[in-house]
Amino acid sequence: MPERHQIAFYGKGGIDKSTTKIVSGAEAVAMIRSGDTVAFSGFVGIGTPEAVICALEKRFLETGEPSNLTLFFAAAPGDGKDKGLNRLAHDGLVKRLIGGHFKLVPKLAELAVSGKCEAYNLPLGIISHLFREIAVGKPRLISKVGLRTFVDPRIDGGKLNSNTTEDLVELTAIDGEPGLLYKTFPIHVAILRGTTADPSGNVTMEKEALTLDNLTIATAAKNSGGIVIAQVERIGAAGSLNPRDVKIPGHLVDYVVVAEPEHHMQTYATQYNGAFSGELRTPPDRAASMELNERKIIVRRCALELRKGDVVNLGIGMPEGLAAVATEENIINQLTLTTESGTIGGTPQRGLDFGAAINPESIIDQNQMFDFIDGGGLDLACLGFAQVDAQANVNVSRFGDVLAGAGGFINISQNTRLLFFCGTFTKDLRTEIRDGKLVILQEGQAKFIEKVEQITFSGEYARETHQTVLIVTERCVFSLIPEGLELIEVAPGIDIERDILAHMEFRPIIRQPREMAAVIFADGPMNLDQLLLERLLSEGIDFDAERSTRPARYGLDAGNLVTPSFEEKPTMPTSQTPDIQTLTNQINEMLAKFNMPGADPAALVREQARNIEAFAQATQVANKGAYGVVEKQLELFRAASSQLLMMFEDAALAPKERGELAKQAYEVALIGSREITSMAVKASENAFAITRKRMTEIFEQFRKAATIGKDT
């Protein structure tokens, strides 16, 4: 373990921690020594300790110290110009860079590309997890993330210039399959940010838009024998902080710096918004709709693939527009949008607010989000692309002397089951829509080229792992198949030879491409809220043992559980009325597989058919408002019937347990029915009348079920 940092003396004196942890920025950075490895928090401007960074730059410019630092960061703590770590891009100050993203720290990127310092670009999620591995003293992080990309040591090993020679990434084998080992190293100084600190150094983050990796970075530094500097905006009295609010405990913090407001903005675009931090919830976004242009066409096409309940990751840039379309289409609350920074739910933000979300449901640590991502938790990801080649490799990280960095792209793109790359077909093009057809006014530089400059996503690896990948542009859609890229959709008004093949450096597979949905190119909403509901109603009934969360003790097999199947993706619907007979037939087939002592499956089918018919009538009467009624009824039926099915299937249950399950089913019906009634009243009085009549019958049926269960 390296020698622990001791009290250092610069100029006229030093700091005695026995009297206080609250110091000036200048006093705090005086503790940093030449040659130190310094880890920073920050995601764009969120959590970026601007005041301490300013003090560090000032000290170097005035004294030449500290020098030859290694700067270690996950996301890019910068604004794309002069703020954040851009302030530290001085010759002699930086010896080595290890970063996940560089687009918003272009001055550091210039040092890396020019070879003025050693430089590595590792996946953002890997760096986030490296903090954790360093904290627990592990020598390596083992992962498959990065295989076949520029991070793979068989390609570049994450090195960004010829002056970078040390191998931080090694090839290994995991159960006979290739894997990567990422080297850990000590962190001498951690510079972090919170909201409030007390004299003991306990730090809360109640006004921060993200928690990031602050706790793990602080732990890594202390367990490496280093020091922790925390920037905050205010000081609380001793003992005044709620222990549940403390994100960095005082024993991990050496110095606290109170920043001026201009150096402690919540993001680089917003001084403070309580809806970012969860302090308050704002009304639903009523922002103007996106202009109908090539950007909106692309994200609209991606939006057609959404399913109710999908957990989705949106990348930076064009994919951010998917949140705007989801809001415009009234489906934002039917999805869970996430960012790799740690927000779950709400509406992810764009530009210099990126990383934050309006009205998030939860904010978790960044490394925890990458646990979820790397484990395959995402249903869908929408990411950008800059170059695509004949092998379906994608480059978003480096183009000549322009270094953007991979960010979380590699983690997300390698571990998401349904992946969309979205971007314009050529760079800097101009288009317009005339009479529902796409017209190319000016072509740009080719993006579909023979060979990408850097592999950020491996098409070969995706084919081996059987990943579903679509590349969506304003004029066409490609699908990754075992043989390569296939052209599967073409926009109305687009000629394949003139507008597509003439601007590609390779020829894709072409069989029978269909026309992209006309609704994408029309003004006004696409009615995706109705589409999502109809998919929920009409898609096949199937059992997926791997996705089932039903308790194993009930001994269910492939014939015993109903879950929506999302494998087949219907096209845009032509009707807003569910197919009652089809639904009834599906339920009939499902119930026929059960063996329920004391129950009549045929009677259950008839009763459920009456439910569907009643609520279809309510839908027709109340139109759009009653869709919520139908959806809630289905939710009610599934919840209540699951309890009854458990009772019927498990003959080993004691009479008392069977009665309790029946009682629970009745209570579920009662609670759900109240919600349905409220929704129906809002929809229309006629829909309410239909609903009330049917729910009266349901109450009676479940009451009888509960009575039978108790008497058994």
Indicate if 340 belongs to the active site: yes
CA distances to 244, 277, 281, 299, 675 from 325, rounded to whole Å, are 37, 23, 20, 7, 28
Q: What CA–CA distance (Å, rounded) separates 583 from 329? A: 26
The candidate with the shortest Cα–Cα distance to 39, out of 252, 281, 218, is 218
Beta bridge partners of 446: 426
Q: Dihedral of CA 435/441/445/451: which sign?
A: positive
- Determine which one of 320, 329, 340, 489 is catalytic: 340
Give, in order, the Cα–Cα distances in Å from 23 to each of 196, 232, 253, 257.
14, 11, 12, 6
Q: Which helix (H) or strand (E) holds 612?
A: helix 601-622
Assess contact for 412 and 340: CB atoms under 8 A: yes
Exposed/middle/buried for residue 350 (C-beta within 10 Å: 0-12, 13-18, 19+): middle
**258 forms bridges with which residues in the sheet?**
232
61 CB burial (10 A radius; 0-12, 13-18, 19+): exposed
- CA dist 451 and 582 (Å) reads 49
The SS3 assignment for 192 reads strand
Q: Which residue, 134, 112, 344, 318, is CA-closest to 222?
A: 134
Q: Is the peptide bond before 284 cis (omega within 30 degrees of 0)?
A: no
Nearest by Cα to 101 from 364, 341, 371, 262: 341
Handedness of CA 17, 19, 22, 23 (dihedral sign): negative
CA 468 to CA 470: how far, in whole Å?
7
The candidate with the shortest Cα–Cα distance to 662, out of 673, 674, 647, is: 647
Using a 10 angstrom Cβ sphere, with 0-12 exposed, 13-18 middle and 19 or more buried, the burial of residue 154 is exposed
What would the 3-class secondary structure string for 14-40 be?
ECCCCCCCEECHHHHHCCCCCCCEEEE
Known catalytic residues are 340
